[in-house]
Chains A and B, each alone.
Chain A
């Protein structure tokens, strides 16, 4: 009986074989040995610079990836409300200011120059939307599933997502990457309304040029925004608690120099000054300030107050408590050297964890963390991350500053070269600033590079490469640089460090 039936089954098979038709198996007969898994190799929470770069890299490495972002556009703070829009405003406000104040002696006479703030903002928005759409395309190109919504840990492998369009979904991952970035640190007692008391987000979207602007915090963000609105006509005062502007890492000599330059451009500074309280109930916003040591109280008034005292890690609504992940006293997710949290398949990169809150640092970490997941080996050199302040002139640095070396008791040698002695800077009539190089006196190995000058942000790449490769100042001094270029100042500073500059 059975054998006859088996022959019958063979006949059935052979009857279907020659036809070449697709075999459609009835659901009743499908033998399923394993259910199809929806689990991703990597689920990334956050589509900012850290998140989207990790997503693209993981896609390139052949991983199945999902990237969850609630903003509605990719790129995070940097692309949407940070580096990119501010650079648009910095560039265009510089052009406006230059046409207005720095064209006549160059032999260019212009007529009535007017500011069209709405168009300035539109140009900014165009750059932002072009770049964010570009990132979305790159995710698609690399096979990344982009989920628009807010993700929260349900358990160690599952992320529940509240979708922006309504409804919920969940996604499982073998590996999970936290890349939720940072948010503006609020100033206690002065609520940010993004109209009169603004954060950096409000500072790139003001509808009119304020007459008087107060900036709390003389770090990079504060000084860049102070530059924009000062150029557009606002009377700007920067209040900084420390005795130097520029924030941590900026070389003291450089900080003093750029403060003088910016003061000459019309920005007022109150360093060594603390803001005691703020009041925005009146027509203007009032700040009670005092000397950092106390004893010199004063009231300052402004139409707009920019709070730029820093940023803090953003983990709100992430459900870290559901999986028992801890943060340090400053709200940073604690990780080890391979970006693992204490739950090893959950890793974390970018602003939300240790290190400077810089987009390019986050980007480096994003690539490294995917390499750790895929290949077990990654690389980020935290001693070699450049910083740039996009004022005019720009300020850029990498490696250690003089005061850091002094504090650590490390011997060093310094070489400088001013742009006033550089031929290209002379022809451009942009001669403010200098290149300062710091090297080990014994080995000549470069320890730090600090630049104030036009295009310093581009020039620092050469210093970063030299530092990463462990170059000596003589290596740079003996490398041919094209003439006439601003980069020759870099070579001459290396010559000054190693022996003597030719043109100074």
Chain B
């Protein structure tokens, strides 16, 4: 009796029509998108002009420029070398326990700047001037 019901259920399941429209889950942006210029789908010529991308503009230059790798290249964790991993993945920038960075070891532009006479004057006067 039960076996017969099970067989009927299985038969019904097999007979069920599968629509062409299927839910494929929440849509996501593809992880790798090729941004190489391609003709617009509605372009009547289905091609890009011969001089496309050869614009003398700085923006166009940036598309192709290299500086430790392509400027606009997405950081990919599977690629070694400079730009191969995001800054956050490089660990803490703080010195190890017991060690201290000396400000004077830094390049000159990061060192303490000497106060100007005007600043000293301003501080001593309690900022009491216009």
Residues of A within 8 A of B (CB): 2, 5, 8-9, 12, 15, 26, 28-29, 156, 323-324, 326, 328, 334-340, 342-346, 353-356, 375-377, 380, 382, 444-445, 466, 469-472, 474-475, 478
Within 8 A of A (CB), among B2-26: 17, 19-21
Q: In the complex, which residues of chain A have a beta carbon less than 8 angstroms from the beta carbon of B103?
A: none
Cβ B127 vs Cβ A26 within 8 A: yes
Which residue on A lies nearest to B123, using beta carbons? Answer: A9
Q: Which of A337, A342, A444, A445 touches B51 (beta carbons < 8 Å)?
A: A342
**Given A324-B56, A343-B59, A377-B30, 20 more pairs with CB closer than 8 A:** A5-B120, A8-B123, A29-B127, A156-B59, A323-B57, A328-B44, A335-B40, A338-B37, A339-B40, A342-B49, A342-B51, A344-B60, A345-B59, A354-B42, A354-B43, A355-B42, A375-B29, A376-B29, A475-B19, A475-B21
User: Taking the nearest CB of chain A, how far is it from the CB of B35, in angstroms?
Assistant: 7
Report how far A117 CA is from B115 CA in the complex, Å.
79
11 contacts between A and B (CB under 8 A): A26-B122, A29-B122, A29-B127, A326-B49, A336-B37, A337-B41, A344-B59, A354-B42, A355-B42, A377-B33, A475-B21
Report how far A326 CA is from B54 CA in the complex, Å.
13
Does B124 belong to the interface (CB within 8 Å)? yes
Q: In the complex, which residues of chain B have a beta carbon less than 8 angstroms from the beta carbon of A382?
A: 41-42
Q: In the complex, which residues of chain B have a beta carbon less than 8 angstroms from the beta carbon of A26?
A: 122, 127, 129-130
Q: In the complex, which residues of chain B have a beta carbon less than 8 angstroms from the beta carbon of A474?
A: 17, 19-20
Q: In the complex, which residues of chain B have a beta carbon less than 8 angstroms from the beta carbon of A377?
A: 29-30, 33
Q: Which of A29, A337, A471 touches B20 (beta carbons < 8 Å)?
A: A471
Residues of B within 8 A of A (CB): 17, 19-21, 29-30, 33, 35, 37-45, 48-49, 51-60, 63, 115, 118-120, 122-124, 126-127, 129-130
Cβ A470 vs Cβ B21 within 8 A: yes
Report how far A380 CA is from B118 CA in the complex, Å.
61
User: Taking the nearest CB of chain B, how far is it from the CB of A499, in angstroms?
Assistant: 13
Q: In the complex, which residues of chain B have a beta carbon less than 8 angstroms from the beta carbon of A8?
A: 123-124
Cβ A5 vs Cβ B49 within 8 A: no
Q: Which of A324, A445, A470 touches B55 (beta carbons < 8 Å)?
A: A324
Q: In the complex, which residues of chain A have a beta carbon less than 8 angstroms from the beta carbon of B115?
A: 2, 5
Q: Which of B41, B42, B57 touches A156 (beta carbons < 8 Å)?
A: B57
Report how far A9 CA is from B122 CA in the complex, Å.
9
Cβ B126 vs Cβ A344 within 8 A: no
Report how far A311 CA is from B55 CA in the complex, Å.
30
Q: In the complex, which residues of chain B have a beta carbon less than 8 angstroms from the beta carbon of A324?
A: 55-57
Prevailing SS type, chain B contact patch: loop
Which residue on A lies nearest to B27, using beta carbons? Answer: A379
Report how far A345 CA is from B63 CA in the complex, Å.
10
**Which 10 residue pairs spanning A and B have beta carbons closest together?**
A355-B42, A354-B42, A9-B123, A336-B37, A337-B38, A472-B20, A377-B29, A382-B41, A469-B21, A475-B19
Cβ B40 vs Cβ A337 within 8 A: yes
Q: In the complex, which residues of chain A have a beta carbon less than 8 angstroms from the beta carbon of B58?
A: 156
Q: Which of A9, A338, A340, A342 has the largest number of chain B CB atoms within 10 A?
A: A342
User: Taking the nearest CB of chain B, how far is it from the CB of A49, in angstroms?
Assistant: 17
User: Taking the nearest CB of chain B, how far is it from the CB of A235, in angstroms?
Assistant: 38
User: Taking the nearest CB of chain A, how far is it from the CB of B44, in angstroms?
Assistant: 7
Cβ A342 vs Cβ B35 within 8 A: no
Q: In the complex, which residues of chain B have a beta carbon less than 8 angstroms from the beta carbon of A355?
A: 40, 42
Cβ B35 vs Cβ A376 within 8 A: yes
Q: In the complex, which residues of chain A have a beta carbon less than 8 angstroms from the beta carbon of B42?
A: 354-356, 382
Cβ B127 vs Cβ A336 within 8 A: no
Which residue on B lies nearest to A345, using beta carbons? Answer: B59
Which residue on B lies nearest to A9, using beta carbons? Answer: B123
Which residue on B lies nearest to A446, using beta carbons? Answer: B20
Report how far A101 CA is from B41 CA in the complex, Å.
47
Cβ A343 vs Cβ B60 within 8 A: yes
Cβ B60 vs Cβ A336 within 8 A: no
Which residue on A lies nearest to B125, using beta carbons? Answer: A12
Q: A354-B44, A376-B33 are in contact. Are A343 and B57 (CB under 8 A)?
A: yes
Cβ B59 vs Cβ A12 within 8 A: no
Q: In the complex, which residues of chain A have a beta carbon less than 8 angstroms from the beta carbon of B21?
A: 466, 469-471, 475
Report how far A335 CA is from B47 CA in the complex, Å.
10
Cβ A475 vs Cβ B127 within 8 A: no
Which residue on A lies nearest to B121, using beta carbons? Answer: A5
Which residue on B lies nearest to A346, using beta carbons? Answer: B59
Cβ B55 vs Cβ A336 within 8 A: no
User: Taking the nearest CB of chain B, how far is it from the CB of A21, in angstroms?
Assistant: 13
Report how far A470 CA is from B43 CA in the complex, Å.
23
Which residue on B lies nearest to A377, using beta carbons? Answer: B29
Report how far A2 CA is from B116 CA in the complex, Å.
11
Cβ A336 vs Cβ B38 within 8 A: yes
Which residue on B lies nearest to A23, using beta carbons? Answer: B127
Cβ A475 vs Cβ B20 within 8 A: yes
Report how far A444 CA is from B128 CA in the complex, Å.
85
User: Taking the nearest CB of chain B, how far is it from the CB of A47, in angstroms?
Assistant: 23
User: Taking the nearest CB of chain A, how far is it from the CB of B112, in angstroms?
Assistant: 11
Which residue on B lies nearest to A27, using beta carbons? Answer: B130
Report how far A335 CA is from B54 CA in the complex, Å.
14
Cβ B17 vs Cβ A336 within 8 A: no
Report how far A326 CA is from B51 CA in the complex, Å.
11
Q: In the complex, which residues of chain B have a beta carbon less than 8 angstroms from the beta carbon of A323?
A: 57
Report how far A340 CA is from B60 CA in the complex, Å.
11
Cβ A354 vs Cβ B40 within 8 A: yes
Report how far A343 CA is from B60 CA in the complex, Å.
6
Report how far A200 CA is from B82 CA in the complex, Å.
59
User: Taking the nearest CB of chain A, how far is it from the CB of B31, in angstroms?
Assistant: 10
Cβ B17 vs Cβ A470 within 8 A: no
Report how far A34 CA is from B91 CA in the complex, Å.
28
Q: In the complex, which residues of chain A have a beta carbon less than 8 angstroms from the beta carbon of B122?
A: 26, 28-29
Report how far A216 CA is from B5 CA in the complex, Å.
71
